[in-house]
Amino acid sequence: DIQMTQSPSTLSASVGDRVTITCRASQSMSSLLAWYQQKPGKAPKLLIYKTSTLQSGVPSRFSGSGSGTEFTLTISGLQPDDFATYYCQQYNSYPLTFGQGTKVEIK
């Protein structure tokens, strides 16, 4: 199984900040890595897939990069609507696995 480890677990930031979340895989994998945003009481929402492809309708301030075992999600210019929990997920192989989540809080 591919284990996904996100860091940090919690991130305090201000509106307008650039924030970066890292996701590390326990073994080298393909580019089949997705990022989801989840708000309290809601289902996750797909933001980025195949490491760096923006899902339709997602603002361009979200970007993804990485390869091998290290992947990142960057939010350039944090907006009030972006305060949420973010999860990475590998869909390279079964079982599908998620990172433990990164909560982006208001500083």
Partner 1 sequence: QVQLVQSGAEVKTPGASVKVSCKSSGYTFTDYHMHWVRQAPGKGLEWMGWINLNSGDTNYAQTFQGRVAMTRDTSITTAYMEVRGLTSDDTAVYYCARRRVGTPIDYWGQGTLVTVSS
Cβ at position 64, least distance to partner 1 in Å: 12
Chain contacts with partner 1 (rule: CB under 8 A): 32, 34, 36, 38, 43-46, 49-50, 55, 87, 89, 91, 94-101
Distance CA 24, CA 97 (A): 12
Q: Which 3-state string (H, E, C) describes 35-54?
A: EEEECCCCCCEEEEECCCEE
Which is nearer to partner 1, 75 or 86 (by Cβ)?
A: 86
Cβ at position 15, least distance to partner 1 in Å: 26
Phi, psi of 80 (to 5 degrees): -55, -35
